Amino acid sequence: MALIDARPFPLSFEPATTALIVIDMQRDFIEPGGFGAALGNDVRPLQAIVPTVRRLLDGCRAAGLAVIHTRECHEPDLSDCPPAKRDRGTPALRIGDHGPMGRVLVAGEPGAEIVAELTPRPGETVIDKPGKGAFYATGLAEILAVLGARTLVFAGVTTEVCVQTTMREANDRGFDCLLAEDATESYFPAFKAATLEMIRAQGAIVGWTATTDQILAALDA
């Protein structure tokens, strides 16, 4: 067993039954001209975590952890995109519209791809999900069952939306969940801070949080 100096208290885990899940590190959310920017957001805070996510990814790969990447995207005919999701708000571009990186959040389009620095390696699982959570309408639960996973380490964007939704779903399924604090980000700093507090409140009611350095130190040990 290994031990991470996490909050609100240390988390013990077995690397052989631990998986890293990197949530939605896609061009549409992270690069200028994508969906995140079309919603009026400054994407620079999300861009800034890419090197940290890469360091966490490389460390988990070196330690032999299973790695899973997710992408939020939809079928080209938008049959899996509820109108209530596409039509709300007043973004400059809506899901399915043509933008600088192809059709927004559509599978197979350049904007839906994971940023180049975090490109999945052969053999790593990539899950396309139509919702915020990575369990809804995907095979993630079955994949984790085959892996025998019991502990999940999370990174990616955005902290309060897709990352938190997936963590809460995983927690309900009995997984120990750990969020890498500096390998996740939000367009809204206050939302990230609040999410970290919610996750680890009341004795890790949703899960634990730790820095990338703390996670890698535990894997090295």
Residues noted as catalytic? 24, 129, 162
Beta bridge partners of 72: 129
Element (H, E) at 199: helix 189-204
Rounded CA separation 174/27 (Å): 32
Element (H, E) at 48: helix 44-48
Helix axes of 164-172 and 189-204: crossing angle, nearest 10 degrees? 20
Rounded CA separation 109/73 (Å): 9
Helix (H, G, I), strand (E, B) or coil at 49: coil
> In 80-163, which residue ranges form alpha helices assigned H by DSSP?
83-87, 140-147
CA 157, 159, 165, 169 torsion: positive or negative? positive
Query: Do the beta carbons of residue 152 and residue 21 sit within 8 Å?
Result: yes
- Identity of residue 32: P
Query: Do the beta carbons of residue 109 and residue 101 sit within 8 Å?
Result: yes
Pull the structure tokens for residue 203.
């004795």
